[in-house]
Amino acid sequence: MLIEDPQDGWTRLTLSRPEARNALNTALLGALAEALGRLGADPGCRAVLLAGAGGNFAAGADIGEIEGKGSAEAAADPRKAYWASIRAFPKPLVAAVDGFALGGGLELALTADLLVVGETARLGLPETNLGIMPGAGGTQRLTALVGRARAMRMVLTGEIVDATTAEAWRLAAWRADGSALPVAEEITGKLARRAPLALQAAKRAVVAASEGALDFAGEREGFEALLDTADKAEGIRAFREKRKPEWQGR
């Protein structure tokens, strides 16, 4: 479910659950965290490119895993450690987004230092449609990138934006005319030829400047509390039954 493809000084990691639009189940997220941890310590790898198989980046978390999970289980969820490990990757990280990058998929793309969107890219945080909220950095990083008004628009309404909008809103660093992958590969190759220690130090400085006040723990607490609500159960049930949910506010 994770394809590792070493290149000349960099590595391409491809999320490969195309039957589920590369939804980030716990096993895939763990494999990704392990790979990034290993590559972060490998002097032969100077940069990493994240991509998705089958025309999509990642269409969110695995709904089947969230459906039966309450706040007690979520508090001990290994996914929290996996996300922390991914965020701690010290080297340049590029994401090539074609197709859907929704929910946890967009949160993963937002961990990248440079995000490239292709013409089919569709990005969003639609968790409130299911009676939950982003819980892996989405509210924090999105707000830092696009500002309060646009973050509220995407998070509260679940709006999905296209590649042109993602570039205009500063979600993406590049917009490709076709697929994001060739452009992202060229960029990652260039990064691998630059001074590695300088890039790592520069990345730390930019992350500190842009994320110093972000509250990842508070976001996660809000997400975990919602897992016990009747609205969360109704939201996922309505999603599976392809109907509009009937919210009760409890």
CB 169 within 8 A of CB 150: yes
Q: What is the pLDDT of residue 245?
A: 83
Q: How far apart are CA 209 and CA 205, in angstroms?
A: 6
Return the minimum-mean-pLDDT range out of 67-71, 95-99, 227-231: 67-71
Q: How many CA atoms lie within 13 A of 33 on its CB side?
A: 18
Return the minimum-mean-pLDDT range out of 11-20, 127-136, 187-196, 231-240: 231-240
pLDDT band at residue 137, thresholds of 50, 70 and 90?
Answer: confident
The domain tally of the chain equals 1
Active site annotation includes 107: yes
CATH code, domain carrying 110: 3.90.226.10
In a domain, 132, yes or no: yes
Active site annotation includes 186: no
Mean pLDDT of the chain: 90
Burial of 5 (0-12, 13-18, 19+ CB in 10 A): exposed
Q: How far apart are CA 139 and CA 234, in angstroms?
A: 23
Q: What is the pLDDT of residue 215?
A: 73
Domain holding 41, by residue range, is 2-177
Q: What is the pLDDT of residue 71?
A: 67
Q: How many CA atoms lie within 13 A of 96 on its CB side?
A: 25
Residues in the chain: 250
In a domain, 73, yes or no: yes
In a domain, 98, yes or no: yes
Please determine, for residue 145, whether its predicted confidence score (pLDDT) is greater than 70. yes
Q: What is the pLDDT of residue 7?
A: 96
SS3 156: helix
In a domain, 207, yes or no: no
Q: Which two tokens stand for residue 212?
A: 């110093």
In a domain, 246, yes or no: no
In a domain, 238, yes or no: no
Q: What's the whole-number mean pLDDT along residues 17-44?
A: 95
Q: What's the whole-number mean pLDDT along residues 160-167?
A: 96
In a domain, 134, yes or no: yes
pLDDT band at residue 160, thresholds of 50, 70 and 90?
Answer: very high
CB 250 within 8 A of CB 229: yes
Q: What is the pLDDT of residue 79?
A: 85
pTM, full prediction: 0.88
Which one of the listed residues 19, 34, 107, 224 is annotated catalytic?
107
In a domain, 152, yes or no: yes
Which one of the listed residues 4, 34, 73, 127 is annotated catalytic?
127
